[in-house]
Chain A
């Protein structure tokens, strides 16, 4: 239902505009924006009033990239508790992504780092970033250009699975390739 989804986005955007003080500009002004690092040029930030409804497909299901070759199907790798090293069983996954990115130099991927729920939220934000950087380093060694990679840590904010048990935690400690 394309219509429904648009309507929903509109409703949420409008309600946010309402919350933002009914101002005709939507209430958000651009502050300091600095994305000068490698790999960030041109990605920019979504503009004024762009709130919610745009987050679909962050798990790598957005298969709209029209480039040669196919994006590897396995787009999530998992980590041990309190660790950021790449487990040997996932090296082949990373090598497949490295091969794809090397042969498709226009392809770009966001490495989304996640943690389980244990510990404080902002500290987990840092741990999630550390995991994503670990993947970034691995891909770099495999010859992927830094300009194709961006890192976003979600910390513990987007668990893949709910639950306060080891199985849930194991599925939540992950890095997702979002093309």
Chain B
């Protein structure tokens, strides 16, 4: 019996090993026409070869943002490693506005990365810093450097060192397999955090980036769970009869807005996570769902079909007043606020299908950002520059991202099954 158990434990670990890692690769689908030319020179390497090409990770990050157009390596005549080695005239001739140079050296078990950001037209150094990274964190170090460069040039905090959660699905009908994953924002280092033969949906990051709330049907009924990512410990937050869906953390992390249909039809509730008490927000005979908190925590955005079809509404938490926000077209749903609270991102149906759109709250103007017919689940980067969403490519679901102005986009295809329901983490550092 013991041998049997050991064998199965071994088999299980193998199974787990193959399931637990997943990478999404990135294809740039549209470059921005307003991108700033930059050159990220391959970093000099001291000693043996490195597991990551740090300059390439930085260059890819900057390009993906839509704000930058990196110079191809083949166009670089020289490969300086420090600012002192740079001759600015040479880079001006290549129409490069900014230059990144650096050097990576092994230090103990990890790495020491020295980098500099140079303003080519002004002929001056903007940043110079030495970063240390432990042995498995060289890529994370490159994301950190990308964040510093992005902020120094654009004035906007970088969001490269963030993560995404997403759901995978394979199979059809009663024979399906679902997975919940967390990966770096560039799709790498995917780790499985839950596997089930029953549906998993609506992952939502806690504001401190340590927990995910999500809906799982693992008991053959929907329930909302809260899982701590570092330990895997989780609690079942709600399992009322009917829908337990669409969890959304309040900005202070103390409350979860959600959809419950325990009283007959789907309504928005706010749960005090610590006290386990519930406040009912909506009360009518129509569908109310997909709540999202405003960044200041003072209002809830939600989808309701009280006017016939689904439209977005805002509920003021102190006055209780409800205001309809969307009027363009007859299907607007699953809204999310931009981090500055001045716009919302949503799914808008037009004659072209279901697409990601941005609506400016002051003007009410709605702009479609994505191009496919089956786009869903937009989730905004914590710095507001990009929106990640689920779409279809070929016959499978993939993740895609578009800049908040719609000018740049990229796709994260997966080798295995459908990928959907992306949730962009908050800032993690």
Q: Which residues of B contact A160 (CB under 8 A)?
A: 172-173
Choose, from B52-60, B97-105, B218-226, B357-365, the stretch at the interface: B218-226
A45, B219: Cβ atoms closer than 8 Å? yes
B16 touches A15 (CB 8 A): yes
B245 near A50: Cβ-Cβ < 8 Å:
no
Q: When the two chains form their complex, are residues B241 and A120 in contact, meaning their CB atoms are under 8 A apart?
A: no
Interface pair A31/B235, CB less than 8 Å apart: yes
| CA A125 to CA B215, docked complex, whole Å | 11
B110 to chain A, nearest CB (A): 27
Mark contacts of B334-348 with chain A using CB atoms, 8 A cut-off: 1 yes-contact digit, 0 otherwise.
100000000000010
- Most central of A57, A58, A161 by chain B CB within 10 Å: A58
- Cα separation A32 to B274 with both chains bound (whole Å): 12
Taking a contact as CB atoms closer than 8 A, the residue among B218, B243, B262, B376 that contacts A153 in the complex is: B243
Cβ of A107 to closest chain B Cβ, rounded Å: 18
With contact pairs A46-B219, A121-B376, A162-B395 given, residues A35 and B240 touching in the complex (Cβ less than 8 Å): yes
The interface centre, meaning the residue of A11, A22, A118, A120 with most chain B CB atoms within 10 A of its CB, is A120
Contacts of B310 in A (CB 8 A): 119-120, 123
- Neighbour of A119 across the interface among B202, B261, B354, CB < 8 A: B354
* A122 to B16 CA separation, bound complex (whole angstroms): 30
Query: How many residues does chain A have at the interface if contact means C-beta atoms less than 8 Å apart?
Result: 63
Chain B 219-260 interface 0/1 with A at a Cβ cutoff of 8 Å (1 = within): 111110101100111111111111101100000000000010
CB under 8 Å from chain B, chain A span 138-155: 150-155
Binds B, one of A85-93, A96-104, A126-134: A126-134
Query: How near does chain B come to A140, taking the closest CB pair, in angstroms?
Result: 14
Is B146 in contact with chain A by the CB < 8 A criterion? no
Interface of A is mostly: loop
**Which of these, B173, B202, B237, contacts A121 with CB under 8 Å?**
B202
A132 to chain B, nearest CB (A): 10
- Which residues 41-92 of A sit at the B interface, judged by CB distance below 8 A? 45-46, 50-59
- Interface positions, chain B 156-205, Cβ under 8 Å from A, are 169, 172-174, 176, 192-199, 201-202
Decide yes or no: A50 and B239 within 8 Å by CB, A20-B234, A37-B262 being known contacts.
no
A53 partner residues in chain B, CB cutoff 8 A: 197
Known: A28-B234, A33-B239, A121-B202. 4 other contacts (CB 8 A): A11-B11, A32-B238, A53-B197, A122-B202
Could you pull out 14 A-B pairs where Cβ atoms are within 8 angstroms?
Answer: A19-B193, A28-B235, A33-B236, A36-B241, A52-B198, A54-B220, A119-B376, A120-B303, A120-B333, A122-B202, A122-B334, A123-B287, A157-B169, A158-B174
Enumerate the 3 nearest inter-chain pairs by beta-carbon distance, A residue then B residue, closest first.
A21-B232, A157-B199, A31-B236
